[in-house]
């Protein structure tokens, strides 16, 4: 009986939200993003298929599109393959066509379907998979609370199977990258809002962070609008794809910014500037990544930063480094501030010396043991593809807004200064 009632209620809710939708156009949408403590991945959940099921996906800021395993347990009456040479295939810039799939047709196996290369950017494994579409539903927001659920009937995604290395329960990745079929692009075109989205990653294993699709306000308890007072810097295009596998001529779907120098405690760190620019082969430069737990620096940059940081904290006893970190301190000798351990600030200087991304203790230091704090940067080797990859720990509790139309990044710096965190979005619905 309780079951039946529950079912009827669900049916009512579903019917209600469908009926409401015809006249309702959302201003923005939200996805909750939890932090998986064992992999340090940021995991989101989206409802897909008919009947709807929650699908857990690792958030991939620079990822090209949404991909999910559709080879096992994929049941849906609304799945449709994208036929070769269709408008969907050209939007997705797919040039490959799987002419024939032996056997009975099912999601991931259809004749005459265009293919793309879903990329597990954690293990850097690309496979080949069909492009298809299915129903997706997502919560809208007024910027303060979740609102009505809205649906996108033909949301494009790719079938992928490379799940190794992804957090437990995850069946694919949610790509927010610079393409026409990434989640931000598809949502913006489905509801005709500005091509703007924002991420706010939580540092907490309990309270989820949030992705906003659409413009602000983005309000966090107690009533802080994180979309106000942002600092802006241009987004830079890398003309050469940084995906694990790609077709020649593809541009990168990653978001690059122009770091021009680094300061530690207001002092400029001597660096080889060539590494900070993107060369013709697409090497170098600075990108932001949600699948890299800690910022990765090319060896020469890494050594210079570690040295400068160690010098600036010469009065604090160092302890033997704990991998993957190379510089650790006895935390009992470090004070604490509103924005984390009291350590020198690290500035990523951008288009001019007055525009910088300031990293405070909460984002620079990692508590590895009770009395050990390490500088949370890791050595990326002498010839990495990208010289600086700003990782998850450095962006937690900072709001980053990507404005694709204006090609700029707006960043808030640490929300801890404003006495809030990314885990403070009020997910209690008022609809």
430 binds ligand NAG (CB under 6 A): yes
Nearer to ligand NAG, 193 or 220 (CB): 220
Q: Among 422, 21, 41, which residue's Cα sits nearest to residue 202?
A: 422
Contact in structure between 217 and 143 (CB atoms under 8 Å): yes
The CB-of-148 to ligand NAG minimum distance in angstroms stands at 14
CB of 404 to ligand NAG, least distance (A): 30
The closest residue (CB) to ligand NAG is 430
Contacting residues for 382 by C-beta, under 8 A, at least 6 apart? 298, 299, 300
| Candidate residues 50, 330, 336, 353; the one interacting with ligand NAG per rule CB under 6 A | 330
Give 249's contacts (C-beta < 8 A, 6+ positions apart): none
State the minimum distance, in angstroms, from the CB of residue 259 to ligand NAG.
Answer: 15
- 319 binds ligand NAG per the rule CB under 6 A: yes
3-state helix, strand, coil in the chain (%, to 5): 15, 35, 50
CA distance linking residue 183 with residue 74, whole number of Å: 20
End-to-end, the C-alpha distance of the chain in Å comes to 27
Answer yes or no whether residue 95 interacts with ligand NAG by CB under 6 A: no
Cβ distance to ligand NAG smaller for residue 76 or 145 = 145
Q: Which of residues 274-313 bind ligand NAG (CB under 6 A)?
A: 274-275
373 to 392, contacts with ligand NAG by CB under 6 A?
Answer: none
Q: Which residues contact 316 (CB under 8 A, 6 or more apart)?
A: 329, 330, 333, 334
Q: Which is nearer to ligand NAG, 195 or 385 (CB)?
A: 385
Does 105 help bind ligand NAG (rule: CB under 6 A)? yes
- The stretch near ligand NAG (CB under 6 A) out of 102-110, 122-130, 240-248, 393-401 is 102-110
Is 84 within 8 Å of 96 (Cβ atoms)? no
Q: How far is the CB of 182 from ligand NAG (least distance, A)?
A: 28
* Stretch 219-238: interaction string toward ligand NAG, x if CB under 6 A: --x-----------------
**Min dist. Cβ of residue 47 to ligand NAG (A):** 21
DSSP code string of 227-255: TTT-EEEEEE--SS--SSS--TTPPP-SE
CB of 273 to ligand NAG, least distance (A): 8
- Residue 176 has what DSSP assignment? -
**Site size for ligand NAG (CB under 6 A):** 20
Give the span between the Cα atoms of 325 and 355, in whole angstroms: 28
Count of residues in the chain: 431
- Between residues 159 and 275, which has the closer beta carbon with respect to ligand NAG? 275
Is residue 270 a contact point for ligand NAG (CB under 6 A)?
Answer: no
The reply on whether position 412 binds ligand NAG by CB under 6 A is no
The Cα 89–Cα 78 span in angstroms is: 18
Options 12, 15, 25, 371; binder of ligand NAG; rule CB under 6 A: 371
Binder of ligand NAG out of 100, 270, 338, 353 (CB under 6 A): 100
Rounded to 5 degrees, what angle do the CA atoms 11, 17, 19 make? 100
Tell me the closest approach of the beta carbon of residue 249 to ligand NAG, in angstroms: 24
d(C-alpha 344, C-alpha 305), whole Å: 12
Q: Does 109 bind ligand NAG (CB under 6 A)?
A: yes
How remote is the C-alpha of 237 from its chain's centroid?
A: 17
| Contact flag: residue 272 with ligand NAG (CB under 6 A) | yes
Q: How far is the CB of 64 from ligand NAG (least distance, A)?
A: 25
322 binds ligand NAG (CB under 6 A): no
CB of 180 to ligand NAG, least distance (A): 27
Give the helix/strand (H/E) hosting 299: helix 299-312
Shortest CA distance to 82 belongs to which of 123, 125, 134?
Answer: 134
Show the tokens assigned to 428: 């209690």
Based on CB atoms, which residue is closest to ligand NAG, 225 or 250? Answer: 225
Q: Using CB under 6 A, which of the segments 17-25, 101-109, 205-213, 401-409 binds ligand NAG?
A: 101-109
CB distance 163 to 69 below 8 Å: yes
SS3 of 105-124: the string is CECCECCCEEEECCEECCCC
Closest separation in Å from C-beta 392 to ligand NAG: 26
Does 426 contact ligand NAG by CB under 6 A? yes
Q: Given the rule CB under 6 A, which residues bind ligand NAG?
A: 100-101, 103, 105, 109-111, 145, 221, 272, 274-275, 319, 330, 332, 371-372, 426, 428, 430
């Amino acid at each position: 009986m309780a079951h039946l009632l529950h079912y009827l209620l669900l049916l009512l809710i579903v019917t209600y939200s469908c009926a409401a939708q015809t006249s309702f156009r959302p201003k923005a949408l939200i996805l909750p993003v939890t932090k998986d403590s064992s992999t340090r991945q940021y995991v989101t959940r989206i409802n897909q298929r008919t009947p709807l099921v929650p699908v857990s996906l690792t958030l991939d800021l620079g990822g090209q599109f949404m991909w999910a395993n559709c080879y096992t347990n994929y049941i849906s009456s609304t799945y449709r393959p994208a036929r070769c040479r269709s408008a969907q295939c050209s939007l997705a810039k797919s040039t490959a066509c799987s002419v024939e799939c032996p056997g009975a047709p099912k999601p991931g196996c259809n004749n005459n379907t265009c293919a793309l290369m879903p990329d597990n950017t954690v293990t850097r494994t690309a496979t080949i998979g069909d492009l298809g579409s299915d129903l997706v539903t997502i919560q809208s927001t007024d910027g303060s609370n979740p609102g009505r659920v809205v649906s996108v009937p033909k949301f494009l995604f790719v079938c992928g199977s490379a799940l190794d290395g992804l957090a437990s329960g995850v069946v694919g990745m949610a790509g927010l990258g610079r393409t026409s079929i990434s989640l931000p692009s598809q949502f913006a075109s489905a509801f005709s809002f500005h091509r703007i989205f924002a991420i706010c990653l939580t540092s907490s294993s309990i309270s989820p962070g949030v992705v906003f699709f659409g413009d602000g306000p983005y309000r966090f308890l107690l009533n802080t609008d994180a979309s106000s007072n942002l600092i802006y810097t241009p987004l830079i295009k890398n003309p050469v794809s940084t995906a694990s596998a790609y077709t020649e001529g593809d541009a990168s779907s990653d978001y690059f910014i122009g770091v021009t120098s680094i300061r530690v405690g207001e002092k400029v760190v001597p660096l080889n500037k060539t590494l900070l620019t993107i060369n013709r082969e697409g090497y170098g430069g600075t990108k932001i990544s949600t699948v890299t737990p800690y910022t990765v620096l090319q060896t020469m940059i890494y050594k210079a930063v570690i040295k400068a940081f160690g010098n600036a904290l010469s009065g604090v006893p160092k302890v033997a480094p704990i991998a993957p970190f190379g510089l650790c301190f006895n935390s009992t000798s470090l004070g604490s501030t509103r924005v984390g351990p009291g350590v020198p600030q690290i500035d990523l200087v951008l288009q001019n010396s007055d525009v910088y991304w300031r990293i405070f203790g909460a984002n620079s230091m990692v508590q590895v043991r009770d009395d050990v704090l390490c500088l949370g940067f890791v050595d990326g080797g002498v010839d990495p593809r990208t010289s600086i990859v700003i990782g998850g720990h450095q962006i937690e509790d900072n709001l980053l807004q990507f404005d694709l139309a204006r090609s700029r990044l707006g960043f808030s710096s640490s929300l801890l200064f404003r006495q809030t965190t990314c885990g403070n979005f009020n997910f209690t619905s008022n609809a």
